[in-house]
Amino acid sequence: MLFASSRLQQFSRKIEDTAMLAGSEAFTQALIFYNSVKQAARDNVPGAQPLLDLLKELKKRFVLGRPPKKCRVKLKKRSIMN
């Protein structure tokens, strides 16, 4: 039973690491896109300014890359052995 619990904890950590990496990569790509639109707006590319305005509205919903507190969901950690 102890072996199964240990293996399950390892698997859980790997899942968490994968989710963290995927989130980091998604954030990086979103930032690249945002900066590209921002530069396009500075260069007066047609259609870039309305898109930048929309992205700025979306950006207001997040603080330091996180949703506002009222949007966050708290997850309770449960023991595997419950």
Distance (Å, rounded) from C-alpha 42 to C-alpha 51? 12
pLDDT over threshold 80, residue 55: yes
Task: Give the pLDDT band (50/70/90) at residue 82.
Answer: very low
Q: Note the pTM of the prediction, 2 decimals.
A: 0.59
Residue pLDDT, tens place only, 8-40 = 889 989 999 898 888 888 888 988 999 999 999
Angle at which helix 2-42 crosses helix 48-60, to 10 degrees, equals 140
